[in-house]
Structure 1
Amino acid sequence: MLLGRKHLVRPMHRIHTIARHRGVRVAALIAAVALSLWNVDRVPHTALLPAALGLLPFAIGKYILCPLRWHAISTSGRTRRWHLRAYAESEILGLVTPWHAGADLWRVHRLETIDVRRSSAVAEVALDRFIGAVGLIAAVVVTGVTLPGTVLAIALGAAALVLVAALVVRRRRPFLAGRWPWPSPKVFAFGMLMSIGYQATILGLLIGAIDAVGGPVPGLQLVAVFGASQIAGVLPGVHGASPRDGALVAGLAAIGVSWREAFGAVALTALLYWIPALLIGGTFLFLRWRGWFTERRPAAA
């Protein structure tokens, strides 16, 4: 058993070492941005004003509403400002990894640097993800999109497993459960509200992108297409070339937007994600590399 564990730890250590290499992260960042630029370059006409107007509410949703949701359920004791910085830093890593997994790993890492146990850090980030997913489903239901039976069953099954696991741990390992976040109904409702608000800002960004490439904004039909595309986001994919992006292109084409304009709008949306990520998250990461915002590590026993 010990030998098998060693064989598992060594590859994970190598992966962690590679992921921490600054050159690897910079190369991944350049490749991801280049993919978005290559897609947008095929769009013949792009107006800057509609794109900028759509980007502003999205930046507020991504870099204010989402960190506030995380802060509300966090037991780290850190300020809102700390959560805003850590979340912004994580977004760059999330955009260069499938399923935005890099963002979660970075947030766990940041929690560990302030002496939060790894199990508690993972539970906190997972809970934030879970509340975000519940908010997403609520936003999709509000749009009037009927969830497929399979998707609904998986979502309810996952929620039931999380609840059962939490109750078992709380009953048999109360000392461990005491370190995990247990949001009150009020906090949970607040988190869902932040998630729904964030989904609305993504829709605003999409409307701005469609207008920017010269396509007609289809009104309420767009809301239904957006809701359906968000369901495809549960499948892993690279930012700018994910199942969600493909579903969104197909949905826009189905409601009267030309294929060229649909591709252009989705590609432009993927590129616009990078602007606040680099300006906000990139600035915080750069300042951290220069020695700013460095938390004291716990003293060795």
Structure 2
Amino acid sequence: MIQPTLLKRQRLLTFGLLVLIFATIVVGMGTGYASLSFDRILPTLFGQGTFKEEFILFSVRLPRIMITLLAGMSLALSGAILQGITRNDLADPGILGIHSGAGIGVAIFFLFFPVDANAFVYWIPLVAFVGALCTAYMIYLLSYKKNEGLQPVKVVLIGVGFSMALSGAMIVLISSAERMKVDFIAKWLAGNIWGDDWPFIFALLPWLIVLIPFIFYKANRLNVLELSEPAVIGIGIAIEKERLSFLIAAVALAASAVSVTGGIAFIGLMAPHMAKSLVGPRYQLFLPLALLLGGWFLLVADTIGRNLVDVSIPAGTIVSLIGAPYFVYLLLKK
């Protein structure tokens, strides 16, 4: 049973994060290359703005803000699941090579399978999912021993190895490609929010609408999977079936997010850890906070990157500047 004080704390923190997200959205709507006065945001939202104000808000700012928020949530939730099923606090979709797998899928599709521009938006999350799932399955197979189960340290080491190997394969793929296509893939690798239009939101939303309720519904199973394998089997849970279903969900969330935001790492590492430090390790408690923290982190990173200097800095670069030292800290601590 969850203590009432913890539940109250979680609700207060959830409310606080929602306020922070709302405040960051307002700042994001009013700042950027083409400024929009803060006192004009509300009138423009209700259709009382000029053509320029409505174009800036509805065609430029809001789609990007929504994509960034949703992608950050997806990455945070994916990281929390991976940490649970691998029993490894250092697990993250970017560190484990899942982003690289998604990137290879996107690169092959973009370079060799030209499709209609309207259909491309909806194909790309699916292609990224296939590439990421193949990578995750190979890492899982190589990290698993029949008598000992999944090896947490091995997961990270093999994941890093796959990430480096796939990055090399990506360079080989783009070495003979057209300049325009190379530029797109380079921006994707840097974590540039490129899918900043409404169709990309509609392509991303179905994945979240299906997967987030599924993960929240089965959150208690993640608590159980963090026990030793004999204990989980003793409880009567089909451990491989549960792990596989959660792995597919985590890969789908990460792939759908990075297909429109590029290879952004460390969100899935930082958000779950910080959520756990606030309300404890129970998944029912910290998953909602991790979800909101992930969305807020990426939203803040993108807002800073768009306004820090005259040339926009990719959100992935801003996140990495914070996330890499945090990863080293956790590595030394754990």
Q: TM (normalized to structure 2)?
A: 0.27
